[in-house]
Amino acid sequence: MPHHKSTIKRLRSDAVRRERNRQIKTSLRSAAKRVKTASSPEEATEAHRAFTSTVDRAVKKGVYKKKTASRMKSRLSKHTKPAE
C-alpha cells in the first residue's frame, strides 16, 4: 500500500486511464473488423473512413502514437482496394 499522497492519486488516475484506453482499443478492434468483413467495396470504404476517424481520435487522446496510427490505417487500407 502506498504511503505518499501523490502515489495514491497516481494509482487512481492510472486506473481511470487504463479503463479509458481499454475501451478505445476495443472500439478500434471492432471498427477494424467491420472493414475486414465488409460485403461490398463501398461498405468497406465507409467502414475504413470511420476507422480512420476513430484512430485519429485515439491519437489525440494519447492512446496511440502518430506513426502507429498511420501504420494501422495503411495496413487496413488494403481491404478497401479492389482485388487485382
Judge whether residue 1 has pLDDT over 70: yes
Task: Write down the pLDDT at residue 84.
Answer: 52
What are the structural domains of the chain?
A: 5-77 (1.20.58.110)
Dihedral sign from CA coordinates of 52, 55, 60, 61: positive
Contacts of 27 (CB under 8 A, 6+ apart): 54
| Helix or strand holding residue 15 (H, E) | helix 5-36
Mean pLDDT value across residues 14-41: 94
Mean pLDDT value across residues 1-18: 94
Contacts of 66 (CB under 8 A, 6+ apart): 59
What 8-state DSSP symbol labels residue 19? Answer: H
Rounded to whole angstroms, the Cα distance separating 9 from 2 reads 10
